[in-house]
A and B are shown apart, each in its own frame.
Chain A
Amino acid sequence: MEALIPQVVVCTDVRRDTPDVKTFRILTPDGKKPFVNIPGQCAMLSIPGVGEAMFSITSSPTNKEYMEFSIKKCGCLTEWLHMIEPGQQLTIRGPYGNGFPVDTALKGKDLLFIAGGIGLAPLRSVINYCRDNRADYGTIDIIYGSRSKDDLVDYKEIIDEWMNTPGVNVHLTIDREQEVWDGHVGFVPNYVKELNPDIKKTVLMCGPPIMIKFTLAGLKELGFEDTQIYTTMELRMKCGIGKCGRCNIGAKYVCKDGPVFRFDQLDELPNEY
């Protein structure tokens, strides 16, 4: 199979998560998952004529029925995607990237997930993977924040499933007070400090750059090492196969060597992201 020729898939379900995030369920025309993947990997979705773009696979590999993508409306292609209806065929190619080391470095560890806004999308597949292989991991803490209650992606799943999984602690926060909200209010970096997590945990983090910056500083203050913290990058990936020349940070290609990096690896790279 030629790497650049995509396969056709059908979007079987579209669900609105937040005012600007929708989750798309994707299957091959004969009802199968398009391919097998590792949590944290990406795939190239495309609407022919509109363009191609890379998205994190949001569903867990343990989900054998379908694949899901949570996508925020922020550009030309995503605007189109937000307009499609179930039954629409798209094309996909992938999976791309390294994914999180769920079967190696993370195995047996206490995990701390930190996410902001749509940054939950790539982590969601890891969280669900870990929940489905609960015995392989230690405690799971999830700190997730967004602008408002409406902007929390997968709110229903978080409440109904994650919070009811033994050994999983979910800490939600929103940026500003809201009448319908009786939970924590405040920015993620501050909340992380308030919660003062055990520094033996391994951190998986994803969110807007500004959140990453302050949370990272906060974690280091608490005593975390770079080698304990993973993040996943979002740079312009075009071909997905490390050839088109766009997504490199220094000598590393995000689409091939990433998108998951440990912070000590990132430290080695030039500051061009």
Chain B
Amino acid sequence: MNRIGVFVCHCGTNIAATVDVHRVAETLGKEPSVVIAKDYQYMCSEAGQNMIKDAIREYGLTGLVVCSCSPRMHEATFRKAAASAGLNPYLVEIANIREQDSWIHKDIEEATEKAVILGRTAIAKVQLNTPLTAGESPVTKRALVIGGGIAGIQTALDIAEAGFEVDIVEKQPTIGGKMAQIDKTFPTLDCAACILTPKMVDCAQNDKITIYSYSEVAAVSGFVGNFSVKIKRKARFVDETKCTGCGLCTEKCPQKKVPNEFNLGLDNRRAIYIPFAQAVPKVATIDPDYCNMLKNGKCGVCAKVCGAQAIDYKAQDTYVEQQYGAIVVATGFNPINIDAYDEYAYSQSQNVVTSLELERLMNAAGPNGGTLLRPSDKKHPKTIVFVQCVGSRCDDSRGKGYCSKICCMYTAKHAMLIREKYPDTNVYVFYIDVRTPGKNFDEFYRRAVEQYNVHYVKGQVGKVVPKSDGNLIVYGSDLIEGKRLVIDADMVVLAAAIEPDKSARSIATMLTASMDTNDFFTEAHPKLRPVESPTAGIFLSGVCQGPKDIPETVAQATACAGKVIGLLVKDKLTCNPCVAHSDELMCNGCSSCEKVCPYGAITYEEKGFRQPDRTTKMRRVAIVNEAVCQGCGACTVACPSGAMDLKGFANKQIMAEVDAICL
């Protein structure tokens, strides 16, 4: 038989003024399983808690009900008290007779009656409570960062700084990401490479950091504290340990017609290449799609010229398996494909470029050595039109519904830099709104308008028509002046929307981390847990979570590192014991529960069951990983057979509460 103790708190007069606490204790004391019922002025006081502890020992209580303030207030207090007296803390239930009774009712009779019902409800529930023990799981003290852009680099450096091992997986031959392609940064106009490359070097030199460049995550298993990750190291046909990065091979390679992706195809590179001068690791890579030796076995020049004998045409993809306690997603972004925006003639004219292409055209390490020449005929452009929001804030399927956030500022930067370097150039910017929230941002924009006389036109460009001489006729409208504009431009620059990298979707699937409809990773809480994924042990850094500029990215990267460090310093993780549990005798293995689990806590296993006729039947059953489950209970309702239940909030318990309330 259950032996329940009931304790009714006066909370000074907070409860006692409206609820007849004596009567509540007396009435509840008559409930069948209640062996002691008392009321006291302040149950949460030391004296009150001692009263509870003494009763637990004296009456050998199997359950405890405290009628007091909200469980959000003192549930932890009473659980601790129970535990210290030897009663499992999860055998404690609170009846909320303050916030949800005495404070909202005036009539003593009514409030007292309600307090009794709430007390009975708690008694009904506590009788069905089972002792729960919080489980523990160890933590592997190593973090994985997926993506080696500025976000990944910063997170890795911060984690390594705290003394933990970090691995960076980067799918390109070098780390650096988008920031490495950028010329100058707003609003300070300092050189991106100058601030990025030292960090890249730091990564390479930090003995806690391992860089897996030209690599991809192939498979992930496990859970917070205990991930196991398989990393695919793509064959680069150059031995990283031998290559000195001298670059001789890249000069001698006869295959010269390979579009240079670092310069966005604006110029060419060789089949063996180092993406850019400051690449980390500074190692050559053979592009198997273009290398004659790899394609038809005819060439072998690079092997001949390589003094370090680093070339290996027979190299194969290899796999590394590594354990991690935490995984950081820093998969970054790409500009969207704007081929669908036919009205801007992007695919018809070389002189219509994206902002990132302009970035390369203006970069000293770019195709024109830093001189702004238009692609078609390498002439100095005299009139440049910038079009904002190409694919951002878009309500059709060609673009994105969200604001890409960075375009207003980088366009101001571009306009300003062009006007600074080539004052004779006319610069027009067509915009919907100019958005400049950020430190020194609006000042920066105003400088572009006021100091550099950039023509900002509120309005849209309707059509860009290429002419035979390479010039472009831009048909636009000025909404403020209310007139139509026709501009004969030398170049048009499109501020293409940014979107999460295409690889993010498959990574999210592997990590069972949730994404929004735009493929940005969802954070555990939009305000309070912005750098964590709802999936425990998965952290978010940079644009993979949503559009950001560099300072924000770095801030988030560091915040993310802080969260990772907070996890890795723990030796063991305590798990919430109120987790889902599947009764495998009832489970059908239908996968409904898995589909609604936001944490990927449910997996399936083929298990043998003994049948009444003594044979064994194999059945697929759900298994809940208690370390990952957060106890929301979504699976319990998705389960048609009722096999899935939630400890601490079991079907039976909630039904008993319903019954007690409705009685």
> B1 at interface (Cβ–Cβ under 8 A)?
yes
Number of interface residues of B (CB under 8 A): 2
Contacting residues, chain B, for A85 (C-beta < 8 A): 1
A83 to B2, CA, bound (A): 8
Contacting residues, chain B, for A84 (C-beta < 8 A): 1
Tell me the minimal C-beta distance from B243 to chain A in angstroms.
70
Contacting residues, chain A, for B2 (C-beta < 8 A): 83
A–B complex contacts, Cβ < 8 Å, 4 sampled: A83-B1, A83-B2, A84-B1, A85-B1
A83 to B62, CA, bound (A): 12
Question: A: which residues have CB within 8 A of B?
Answer: 83-85
A84 to B1, CA, bound (A): 6
A84 to B2, CA, bound (A): 9
In chain B, what residue has the closest Cβ to A80? B1
Encode B626-651 as 1/0 by CB contact (under 8 A) with A: 00000000000000000000000000
A85 to B1, CA, bound (A): 7
Contacting residues, chain B, for A83 (C-beta < 8 A): 1-2
Tell me the minimal C-beta distance from B614 to chain A in angstroms.
13
In chain A, what residue has the closest Cβ to B33? A83
Tell me the minimal C-beta distance from A87 to chain B in angstroms.
11
A153 to B66, CA, bound (A): 41
Contacting residues, chain A, for B1 (C-beta < 8 A): 83-85
Tell me the minimal C-beta distance from B34 to chain A in angstroms.
14
Encode B1-34 as 1/0 by CB contact (under 8 A) with A: 1100000000000000000000000000000000
Tell me the minimal C-beta distance from B601 to chain A in angstroms.
30
In chain B, what residue has the closest Cβ to A83? B1
A215 to B69, CA, bound (A): 65
A84 to B32, CA, bound (A): 12
A85 to B2, CA, bound (A): 11
A83 to B1, CA, bound (A): 5
In chain A, what residue has the closest Cβ to B62? A83
Tell me the minimal C-beta distance from A207 to chain B in angstroms.
20
Tell me the minimal C-beta distance from B312 to chain A in angstroms.
66
Tell me the minimal C-beta distance from A80 to chain B in angstroms.
9
In chain B, what residue has the closest Cβ to A85? B1
Tell me the minimal C-beta distance from B61 to chain A in angstroms.
15
Tell me the minimal C-beta distance from A224 to chain B in angstroms.
29
Tell me the minimal C-beta distance from B336 to chain A in angstroms.
62
Tell me the minimal C-beta distance from A89 to chain B in angstroms.
12
A85 to B3, CA, bound (A): 11
In chain B, what residue has the closest Cβ to A88? B1
In chain A, what residue has the closest Cβ to B2? A83
A73 to B442, CA, bound (A): 78
Tell me the minimal C-beta distance from B138 to chain A in angstroms.
35
A83 to B32, CA, bound (A): 13
Tell me the minimal C-beta distance from B648 to chain A in angstroms.
21
Tell me the minimal C-beta distance from B35 to chain A in angstroms.
11
Tell me the minimal C-beta distance from A14 to chain B in angstroms.
11
A107 to B2, CA, bound (A): 48
A19 to B1, CA, bound (A): 17
Tell me the minimal C-beta distance from A143 to chain B in angstroms.
28
A226 to B339, CA, bound (A): 93
A83 to B3, CA, bound (A): 11
Tell me the minimal C-beta distance from B655 to chain A in angstroms.
14
Tell me the minimal C-beta distance from A254 to chain B in angstroms.
19
Tell me the minimal C-beta distance from B570 to chain A in angstroms.
40
Encode B197-235 as 1/0 by CB contact (under 8 A) with A: 000000000000000000000000000000000000000
A56 to B1, CA, bound (A): 24
Tell me the minimal C-beta distance from A179 to chain B in angstroms.
30
Tell me the minimal C-beta distance from A22 to chain B in angstroms.
13
Tell me the minimal C-beta distance from A217 to chain B in angstroms.
20
Tell me the minimal C-beta distance from A61 to chain B in angstroms.
31
A136 to B2, CA, bound (A): 48
Tell me the minimal C-beta distance from B265 to chain A in angstroms.
73
A103 to B660, CA, bound (A): 54
A199 to B462, CA, bound (A): 112
The residues in B between 592 and 629 inclusive whose CB is less than 8 angstroms from any CB of A are none
In chain B, what residue has the closest Cβ to A84? B1
Tell me the minimal C-beta distance from A21 to chain B in angstroms.
18
Tell me the minimal C-beta distance from A160 to chain B in angstroms.
30
In chain B, what residue has the closest Cβ to A82? B1
Tell me the minimal C-beta distance from A40 to chain B in angstroms.
28
A85 to B60, CA, bound (A): 15
Tell me the minimal C-beta distance from A213 to chain B in angstroms.
14
Tell me the minimal C-beta distance from B216 to chain A in angstroms.
54
A19 to B529, CA, bound (A): 51
A119 to B2, CA, bound (A): 30
Tell me the minimal C-beta distance from A52 to chain B in angstroms.
20
A-B pairs with lowest CB-CB distance, top 4: A83-B1, A85-B1, A84-B1, A83-B2
A85 to B33, CA, bound (A): 11
Encode B583-597 as 1/0 by CB contact (under 8 A) with A: 000000000000000
Tell me the minimal C-beta distance from B489 to chain A in angstroms.
84
